[in-house]
Amino acid sequence: MLIRILSLTLFGLATAACSAQETEPGPSMVAAANPHAVQAGLEALRDGGSAIDAAIAIQTTLSLVEPQSSGIGGGAFMVYYDVATGETTVYDGRERAPAATTPQHWLDENGEPLPFLTAWTSGRAVGVPGVIAMLAQAHEDHGNRDWAENFSFAENLAEDGFEISPRLYSLILRAAQIRDVETTPAMRNYFFDETGTVLPAGHVLTNPDYAGSLRLIADDWRNFYEGPLAQDIVDAVAVGPVPGEMTLEDLAGYRASVRAPLCREYRGWNICSAPPPSSGGVTVNQIMGMLEPFDMAATGPDTAEGWRRFIEASRLAYADRDRFIADPEYSAVPVEALLANDYIATRSALIERDTAILNVPAGEPDVPGTSHFVVVDAEGNVVSMTSSVEFLFGSNRMAGGFFLNNQLTDFTFNPLNADGSPVANAPAAGKRPRSSMSPVIVFDTDGDFVLATGSPGGTSIIAYVSKTLVGMLDWGLTPQTAIELPNVVARGNVVRVEDSFPADIAGALRAMGFTLDANRTENSGLHIIQRLEDGTLIGGADPRREGMVGEP
Ligand code: GLU
């Protein structure tokens, strides 16, 4: 990199030569959580599609084959880098609360918050889905193929059928076995045979309803938000238990937001991600910023000191996240203050010690309802997109052959703090619940693309993504090795580490005063594409899921 910086500074003309070269077709790549979805993306790229076209094909396929995690009934954040203009844009397709939503949304008649499991499959959990409006906007700005062409792969697969994967099978079982929650009729009709048994892995599942919905949306994206499909969504939300009050007007009024990414420099790189209502961009950049004064390269993944710093930076950043971040349209989120150099330096100084610090607030449970994918097209445009239905199979309610999200459970259930002041992330009409989704694109000092990554994992997303950035940027790991580093989630007073975390380092951290919980299995789904200086792309796919890397 140093050589390139020098050549650009010393020989201004090199810039022009360099960008002219970048318009030549180059290598392209897809990394996503399911082989069918990767195929869908590659087919789009081979057919002259852009990274955005590939993203539409990937998302509509994931909605079918990985419905536990993401889909067109959910929401997403996408970071997009356009090589021709050098601009990076965030497309925000986060769900919005229906107009009937009040701060008491999650309180029962006695003013007590509903238990999460009751809320999970309720109609009240469903937010107005944002994925299709977001993809339509991105396609209008940066699509190459016709909108409709991007739907044919998923439509054919829904008609012809796909084999239920081992992971999908195990998660249908898990959703059906969660205590106190009755399996919804939609889940039973779709995933169970007449005897009430879950269809096995390998069973070929067709979904003609979904194929029909895709045909409607391919014709005109507005057909998701108006007409018979919108009516189906409203009807699915309106049935008990705990019905919701989404209206046709809520759907018709949905618009995706387009805005600048949240970027911060880290050792000469520029790390760009999603701004609020996601907490991802702020919190990942806080963690990295707190680590910057330390020589992380000298304390690698085989040292307790390297992990200690990572753990403390995570705990400090998560504490801020929990307190300050919500939908900025509803309350002031102090993004600049949280990322100010002086403030980060003060927080970072707290890490300069050799024993565990601080009592920080406790965390929330981890959840498996999200997917992340990355695409680089032949022109060099990049998509980094995290997409979610929130918990397992969203609300477990279906309309038009796809699952509806339960994203409104990402609001804080109790609208008041202990001292009676309002909670920033309380429910409200039209509001977007706080997210942790952290789709990231990293650039070098020349503004050239270096890597794209992201992960599912609820609030742990931030820890998984930060671990991967430290692994690649500081510890020099390849995408695959960085993904395979043990996950370490330090939020509140307990540090959750994956089984593969080295016992000697765990022992050393315990001796410093940390409480480690090694029994919690973590479930990230990190996907990465890295661009080397010679233009070669290398990818990585998380073995904790069923994904892969593919090239056209
Ligand atoms: N609903 C979560 C969020 O938007 C993501 C859930 C998950 O990753 O499973 O932050």
Q: How far is the CA of 289 from the centre of ligand 1 (A)?
A: 24
Last residue of a domain, one of 390, 410, 430: 410
Is 80 exceeded by the pLDDT of residue 208? yes
How confident is the prediction for the chain on average, in pLDDT?
Answer: 92
For residues 330 and 393, state if they share a domain: no
Token pair recorded at residue 456: 């599912």
CATH number at residue 515: 1.10.246.130
Active-site residue, 370 included: yes
For residues 138 and 281, state if they share a domain: no
CA dihedral 474, 476, 482, 485 (to 10 degrees): -70
Q: How far is the CA of 104 from the centre of ligand 1 (A)?
A: 22
Strand ranges in 185-278 using DSSP code E only, listed in sequence order? 204-205, 257-259, 262-266, 269-273
70 CB under 6 A from ligand 1?
no
For residues 168 and 213, state if they share a domain: yes
Give Cα separations from 181 to 49, 120, 137 (angstroms): 43, 9, 37
Is 12 domain-assigned?
no
pLDDT level of residue 18 (50, 70, 90 thresholds): very low
Report d(CA 248, CA 61) in Å as an integer: 26
Length of the chain, please?
552
Last residue of a domain, one of 351, 384, 410: 410
Pocket test for ligand 1, best of 279, 366, 370, 412 (most atoms within 8 A of CB): 370
Rounded average pLDDT over 387-395:
96
410 CB under 6 A from ligand 1?
yes
Considering only CA atoms, give the Rg of the chain.
22
126 CB under 6 A from ligand 1?
no
Report d(CA 287, CA 317) in Å as an integer: 6
pLDDT of res. 23: 58
Is 388 domain-assigned?
yes
Range of the domain at 146: 29-258+372-410
pLDDT level of residue 171 (50, 70, 90 thresholds): very high
Is 396 domain-assigned?
yes
550 CB under 6 A from ligand 1?
no
For residues 133 and 50, state if they share a domain: yes
For residues 119 and 211, state if they share a domain: yes
pLDDT level of residue 418 (50, 70, 90 thresholds): confident
Residue 128 φ/ψ, nearest 5 degrees: -65, 120
Is 10 domain-assigned?
no
Which protein residue's CA is at the shortest distance from atom 3 of ligand 1?
Answer: 435
Is 250 domain-assigned?
yes
Is 70 exceeded by the pLDDT of residue 300? yes
Q: How far is the CA of 535 from the centre of ligand 1 (A)?
A: 33
Last residue of a domain, one of 391, 410, 429: 410
pLDDT of res. 356: 81
User: Please, are residues 88 and 378 in contact by the beta-carbon 8 Å criterion?
Assistant: no
The sheet with strand 494-497 has its strands ordered as 488-491, 494-497, 515-517
For residues 232 and 290, state if they share a domain: no
388 CB under 6 A from ligand 1?
yes
For residues 41 and 77, state if they share a domain: yes
For residues 118 and 197, state if they share a domain: yes
Token pair recorded at residue 351: 């890490």
pLDDT of res. 520: 64
Is 439 domain-assigned?
no
For residues 142 and 121, state if they share a domain: yes
Is 424 domain-assigned?
no
What pLDDT digit, counting tens, does each position of 82-103 carry? Answer: 999 999 999 999 999 999 999 9
Count of structural domains, the chain: 2
For residues 253 and 269, state if they share a domain: no
Is 60 exceeded by the pLDDT of residue 367? no
For residues 195 and 269, state if they share a domain: no
For residues 400 and 459, state if they share a domain: no
What pLDDT digit, counting tens, does each position of 510-529 carry? Answer: 999 999 998 665 589 999 99
Is 80 exceeded by the pLDDT of residue 14? no
What pLDDT digit, counting tens, does each position of 240-260 carry? Answer: 999 999 999 999 999 999 999
Is 136 domain-assigned?
yes
Pocket test for ligand 1, best of 174, 389, 435, 465 (most atoms within 8 A of CB): 435
pLDDT of res. 362: 32
Closest Cα to residue 483, out of 532, 545, 435?
545
The sheet with strand 75-82 has its strands ordered as 257-259, 87-93, 75-82, 382-390, 369-376, 29-32, 548-550
